[in-house]
Chain A
Amino acid sequence: MSSQVDARGLSCPQPVVLTQKAIKEGKTSFEVLVSNVVSKENVIRCVQNNKMKAEAVEDGDEFKIIVSK
């Protein structure tokens, strides 16, 4: 199941809240869009704490974090 979490423009800790929600819903493969470095770092840490893999791709001013099992 693949989907996208759009957390662009959301301030701390919303990107992490939404990422956690996606993980809790049982999603194992999804993307998170964020618009600053801090959110990127926080989302990656959240994903890794949940023992999943995170890979960030820079996209202009924004970041796409690809989450997978």
Chain B
Amino acid sequence: MGNFLASRKGIILVGLVIGVIAVTLQKLGNPANMGICVACFERDIAGSLGFHRAAVVQYMRPEIIGLVLGAFFVSIFTKEYQPRAGSSTIIRFFLGVFAMIGALVFLGCPWRALLRLAGGDWNAIVGIAGLAVGIGFGVLFLKNGYNLGRTYKVNKAAGWVFPAIMLGLFAMLIFQFKVSDAGPLFFSEKGPGSQFAPVAVSIAAGIFIGGIVQRSRFCTMGAIRDIIMARDFHLMTGVIALLVSATLLNLVYGQFKPGFESQPIAHTVHLWNFLGMVLAGLAFALAGGCPGRQLILSGEGDSDAAVFVVGMIVGAGISHNFLLASSPAGTGAYGPAAVVIGLLFCAVIGFTMKEKMS
């Protein structure tokens, strides 16, 4: 049986659809150029749970929950659900932490980088260039034998845990769960965290995208990596399709505002926009997937990907608690230092992690 969404036409269709849904979510209330941003939304979830207290970025984003659940349901239906674990777990955790630190210096994951570009935010070009350079270094490590080792099949329940936790988080959102008047859950009263599409739309969009990304293997990091590594443009056609549909729809909605200055939830410090995404790109490449893909893998039962996601959520807490995250005013006080440390971490991992192949 063929898998249409994994074909050339299929991946283009998936890219087009993600672009349309993301920009429409912006129209319906999500922050500007942030219809879906895996890094930003995981950061908002960290804030909603009180892992950081940046009051403007706290919301239990249903899109993230939906991506995991959509992939979970579809992979069970297609019998691709496969609980697995055991591939250098702690390293994947810290790759997630540093990926988030880098992404929050730029202010966006690769999906948001595309959506920012589609909205006319030219700073995204700098970020995407950084992303490509980071992935390029990742490919060099891969070609020199970098490998986090094999996963092993584990008990079925090990794969359910993460989707089940996501369901629990969704229930907390629906019932507006509060430990005390002070939270958690925390909800932003102003700023990006206070801007969101209706919950029903967000969760449906997340589940739908989770399903089609699971089927199509859409991955932004993989798109760039496959070109550098194997001259394979398959995934890139999907990424370009996303960019095209999002740009066109932004024009239709009047959301396209070209320029570098005064872009929504963005800054113009080019050096750190670039280096933040070098770090994120390298961490994604070493972990084997962009943050969206990691959510999908988590839904398919991959515990190591789930640990990467948890690492990103913890990384968001670290970023906002210790003044690493950027804001529209520019980089955080210690963001640049953290990016340098993250690059060193990734370099050490890249040089040292080699599985002995028989």
Contact = CB atoms under 8 A, between A and B. Distances in A.
B151 A17 contact: no
Interface in B247-305: 288-289, 302, 304
A35 to B, nearest CB: 8
Contact of A49 (B3, B143, B151, B232): B232
A1 interface: no
B142 interface: yes
Interface size band for A: 20 to 34
Contacts of A16: 229-230
Contacts of A11: 87, 148, 151, 288, 302, 304
B225 interface: yes
Given A10-B147, A11-B288, A13-B142, A20 B230 contact: yes
A8 B288 CA distance: 16
Interface in B104-159: 142-143, 147-148, 150-153
A41 interface: yes
A38 interface: yes
A36 B80 contact: yes
Interface in B73-106: 80, 82, 84, 87
B234 A45 contact: yes
Of the listed residues B226, B229, B230, B358, the one surrounded by the most CB atoms of chain A closer than 10 A to its CB is: B230
A17 B289 contact: no
Nearest to B143: A17
A9 B82 contact: no
Contact of B225 (A13, A18, A46): A13
Given A9-B152, A14-B147, A37 B234 contact: no
Contacts of B356: none
Q: How large is the interface on B (under 10, 10 to 19, 20 to 34, 35 or more residues)?
A: 20 to 34
A49 B222 contact: no
Nearest to A12: B288
B82 A10 contact: no
A41 B232 CA distance: 13
Contacts of A41: 3, 6, 217
A59 interface: no
Nearest to B3: A41
Contacts of B226: 13
A19 to B, nearest CB: 10
B217 A17 contact: no
A37 B3 CA distance: 11
Contacts of A36: 80, 82
A61 interface: yes
